[in-house]
């Protein structure tokens, strides 16, 4: 998970302020901590803080973070410790000072193998974070082996396997690149003044008032210099990465991305709407109301309701100030978190037959509590509809799915899950139908639903994804 951003201003020395705005729009991609690195062309200043980005980066910080070029990151902890040492951007010091910095989003599957090779060459790591590995790889091949930075990035694309969307500063140059599979999103754009912006999600780019905006192609390197921007496709240059096929993360569209973003050639809200309509086709019964688990299932439930002609309503209210219950460490606190996060409307559910819609079931914690809650306030029947196939496998490419052993769909069949949750019926979207909700279904990764991993893990021990 996590979100990244970059801004290169042509005239103003305050790129960091724009990066804060971009990160603010992407706070849903990570709330644990965040950071900004700004370059004045000679050296890089960095500021990292725990918690939300607007609270962590003050006006004083922004004055210190002066420069035309800045990158930033919001972190969602998947693995690794929860402290500032794991927070990006990473600044890499050399004998010339702090002149390199990187922020990345994704998960590298051959972390140990590549880090081991670099260690043998004398490279030291201060963390196990994937972003640091990417940064040190580039800096090693540039500084010690004399490669152009763009070529070092190309070499990285051949050697490093996994998901990475990244922004990298080298003095007054910005490099924006994305792995060849295109697992995680990354968008770039240009303003009327010629400023260049990049962000994980297009909703952040909307705030930058970009005139033209597009996704960074998988395997592409975008280079922004003080005077121009150029684009190197995967086929350019001496070192040619070989990319088999694209593998965009379908779970971004189901759950993770904001509905006002477009990713992988799709409008997120539109895909969710289609998912809901597909689910509706599974049912012949009538019901009184369609209720989403807010906010992630809102558009799925709307799609269901409009396809079936059943009224849509918000029967559950979400407290937006309760953080992610999903990543709490133990089951008791996850249970309590769900209770604090959702509350039913009074007298709303009385004697109603309710289609309750959620985007996914992972451990079953959220939905089990919610079905009980809705029944306790009077719902006569609860038909549970899930906008994704059963999550049976962990993700190795940047989505935080717990170990296989705790995934409920890996432990029980659908009838057993339905009984455990206490719903009157339960239906999941099929993988085939999910594939019909996107334009180019063969370009997506469905590994969390079918275990077909596009890239195997080559080492047991991973670095810390982001
Ligand atoms: P669970 O309670 O473990 O079954 O989690 C399922 C709920 O968490 C769903 O309602 C999703 O909206 C949300 N969710 C699914 N995947 C993730 C994830 N990787 N990180 C955080 N929340 C998630």
pLDDT in the model for residue 458: 63
Choose which residue among 366, 384, 403 to substitute to test ligand 1 binding: the one with the highest number of ligand atoms within 8 A of its C-beta.
366
298 close to ligand 1 (CB < 6 Angstrom): no
401 close to ligand 1 (CB < 6 Angstrom): yes
Q: Are residues 129 and 278 in the same domain?
A: no
Tell whether 466 is covered by a domain.
no
Q: Are residues 268 and 208 in the same domain?
A: no
In CATH, what number is assigned to the domain containing residue 197?
3.60.20.10
pLDDT in the model for residue 304: 98
**End of a domain among 213, 243, 273?**
243
Averaged pLDDT for residues 262-281: 98
Tell whether 290 is covered by a domain.
yes
Q: For 316-367, what is each residue's pLDDT tens digit?
A: 999 988 876 776 667 777 778 888 999 999 999 999 999 999 999 999 999 9
366 close to ligand 1 (CB < 6 Angstrom): yes
Tell whether 75 is covered by a domain.
yes
Q: Are residues 146 and 67 in the same domain?
A: yes
pLDDT in the model for residue 313: 98
Q: Are residues 124 and 234 in the same domain?
A: yes
CA of 128 to the centre of ligand 1 (A): 25
Q: Residues 72-106, buried b or exposed e (16+ Cβ, 10 A)?
A: bbbbbbbebeeeeebbbbbbbeeeeebbbbbbbbb
**End of a domain among 197, 213, 243?**
243
267 close to ligand 1 (CB < 6 Angstrom): no
Cβ-in-10-Å burial (0-12, 13-18, 19+) of 404 comes to: middle
Of the candidates 437, 4, 421, the one whose C-alpha atom is nearest the C-alpha of residue 254 is 437
pLDDT in the model for residue 432: 98
Q: Are residues 294 and 315 in the same domain?
A: yes
Q: Are residues 333 and 363 in the same domain?
A: yes
Tell whether 221 is covered by a domain.
yes
Tell whether 419 is covered by a domain.
yes
Choose which residue among 78, 357, 360 to substitute to test ligand 1 binding: the one with the highest number of ligand atoms within 8 A of its C-beta.
360
Tell whether 181 is covered by a domain.
yes
**Does residue 462 surpass a pLDDT of 90?**
no
The span from the CA of 382 to the CA of 353, in Å, is: 6
342 close to ligand 1 (CB < 6 Angstrom): no
**End of a domain among 243, 264, 296?**
243
Q: What is the number of domains present in the chain?
A: 2
pLDDT in the model for residue 240: 64
Q: Are residues 291 and 147 in the same domain?
A: no
pLDDT in the model for residue 407: 96
pLDDT in the model for residue 327: 65
Task: Tell me the torsion sign for CA atoms 47, 49, 54, 55.
Answer: negative
Query: What distance, in Å, lies between the first and last C-alpha atoms of the chain?
Result: 6
CA of 361 to the centre of ligand 1 (A): 6
Choose which residue among 105, 333, 362, 421 to substitute to test ligand 1 binding: the one with the highest number of ligand atoms within 8 A of its C-beta.
362
pLDDT in the model for residue 238: 64
Q: Are residues 171 and 266 in the same domain?
A: no
Q: Are residues 257 and 226 in the same domain?
A: no
Q: Are residues 266 and 199 in the same domain?
A: no
pLDDT in the model for residue 307: 98
Q: Which helix (H) or strand (E) holds 177?
A: strand 173-178
Beta-carbon count within 10 A of 123 CB:
15
Q: For 123-143, what is each residue's pLDDT tens digit?
A: 999 998 899 999 999 999 999
Tell whether 284 is covered by a domain.
yes
293 close to ligand 1 (CB < 6 Angstrom): yes
pLDDT in the model for residue 154: 93
pLDDT in the model for residue 463: 61
Q: For 67-91, what is each residue's pLDDT tens digit?
A: 999 999 999 876 556 778 889 999 9
CA of 405 to the centre of ligand 1 (A): 16
Averaged pLDDT for residues 135-162: 96
Of the candidates 266, 267, 272, 302, the one whose C-alpha atom is nearest the C-alpha of residue 434 is 272
What predicted TM-score, i.e. pTM, was given to this entire model?
A: 0.95
CA of 366 to the centre of ligand 1 (A): 8
CA of 430 to the centre of ligand 1 (A): 18
If you take atom 3 of ligand 1, which residue's CA is the nearest one?
A: 363
400 close to ligand 1 (CB < 6 Angstrom): yes
Domain that holds residue 284: 252-461
151 close to ligand 1 (CB < 6 Angstrom): no
Closest atom, ligand 1, to C-alpha of 408 = 4
359 close to ligand 1 (CB < 6 Angstrom): yes
If you take atom 21 of ligand 1, which residue's CA is the nearest one?
A: 326
Q: Which residue has the higher pLDDT, 458 or 305?
A: 305
Beta-carbon count within 10 A of 355 CB:
29
CA of 136 to the centre of ligand 1 (A): 33
Choose which residue among 76, 249, 326 to substitute to test ligand 1 binding: the one with the highest number of ligand atoms within 8 A of its C-beta.
326
CA of 395 to the centre of ligand 1 (A): 13
Closest atom, ligand 1, to C-alpha of 255 = 12
Backbone angles phi, psi at 343, to 5 degrees: -140, 135
Q: For 5-29, what is each residue's pLDDT tens digit?
A: 999 999 999 999 999 999 999 999 9
If you take atom 23 of ligand 1, which residue's CA is the nearest one?
A: 326
In CATH, what number is assigned to the domain containing residue 436?
3.40.50.2020
If you take atom 8 of ligand 1, which residue's CA is the nearest one?
A: 326
The percent of residues above 70 in pLDDT, for the chain, comes to: 95
pLDDT in the model for residue 14: 96
Averaged pLDDT for residues 424-430: 98
Strands (E), 9-147: 33-39, 44-50, 69-75, 90-94, 97-108
Q: Specify whether 445 is catalytic.
A: no
Q: Are residues 290 and 183 in the same domain?
A: no
CA of 360 to the centre of ligand 1 (A): 6
For the record, the structure tokens of 381 come out as: 């029947």
The HSE-up count of residue 205 (CA atoms within 13 Å, CB side) is: 27
Tell whether 274 is covered by a domain.
yes
Q: Between the CA of residue 444 and those of 34, 271, 403, 437, what are the distances in Å? A: 29, 13, 22, 11
Q: Are residues 23 and 163 in the same domain?
A: yes
């Amino acid at each position: 998970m996590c979100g990244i951003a970059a801004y290169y201003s042509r005239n103003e020395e305050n790129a960091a302020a724009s990066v804060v705005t971009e990160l603010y729009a992407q706070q849903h991609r990570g709330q644990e901590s965040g950071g900004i690195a700004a370059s004045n062309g000679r050296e890089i200043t960095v500021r990292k803080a725990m918690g939300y980005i607007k609270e962590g980066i003050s006006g004083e910080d922004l004055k210190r973070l002066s420069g035309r070029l800045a990158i930033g990151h919001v972190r969602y902890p998947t693995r690794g410790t929860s402290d500032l040492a794991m927070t990006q951007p990473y600044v890499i010091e050399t004998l010339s000072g702090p002149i390199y910095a990187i922020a990345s989003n994704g998960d590298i599957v051959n972390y140990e193998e590549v880090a081991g090779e670099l260690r043998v060459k004398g490279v030291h790591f201060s963390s196990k974070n994937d972003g640091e590995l990417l940064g040190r790889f580039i800096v090693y091949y540039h500084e010690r082996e004399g490669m152009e930075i763009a070529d070092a990035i190309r070499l990285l694309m051949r050697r490093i396997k996994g998901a990475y969307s990244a922004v990298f500063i080298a003095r007054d140059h910005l490099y924006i690149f994305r792995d060849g599979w295109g697992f995680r999103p990354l968008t770039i754009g240009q303003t009327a003044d010629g400023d260049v912006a990049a962000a994980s999600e297009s909703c952040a780019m909307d705030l930058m008032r970009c005139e033209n905006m597009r996704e960074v192609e998988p395997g592409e390197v975008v280079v922004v210099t003080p005077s121009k921007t150029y684009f190197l496709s995967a086929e350019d240059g001496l070192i040619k990465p070989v990319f088999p096929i694209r593998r965009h993360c379908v779970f971004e569209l189901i759950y993770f991305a904001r509905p006002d973003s477009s990713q992988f050639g799709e409008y997120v809200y539109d895909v969710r709407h289609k998912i809901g309509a597909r689910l509706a086709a599974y049912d012949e019964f009538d019901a009184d109301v369609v209720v989403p688990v807010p906010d992630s299932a809102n558009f799925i439930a709307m799609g269901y309701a409009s396809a079936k002609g059943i009224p849509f309503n918000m029967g559950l209210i979400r407290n937006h100030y309760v953080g992610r219950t999903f990543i709490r460490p133990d089951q008791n606190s996850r249970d309590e978190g769900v209770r604090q996060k959702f509350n039913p409307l009074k007298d709303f559910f009385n004697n109603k037959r309710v289609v309750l819609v959620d985007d996914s079931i992972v451990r079953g914690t959220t939905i089990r509590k919610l079905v009980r809650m809705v029944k306790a306030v009077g719902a006569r029947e609860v038909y549970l509809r899930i906008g994704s196939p059963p999550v049976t496998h962990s993700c190795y490419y940047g989505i935080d799915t717990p170990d296989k052993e705790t995934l409920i769909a890996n432990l029980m069949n659908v009838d057993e899950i339905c009984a455990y949750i206490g719903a009157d019926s339960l239906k999941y979207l099929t993988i085939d139908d999910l594939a019909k909700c996107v334009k180019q279904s063969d370009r997506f990764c469905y590994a969390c639903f079918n275990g077909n991993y596009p890239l195997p893990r080559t080492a047991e021990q991973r670095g810390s994804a982001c």
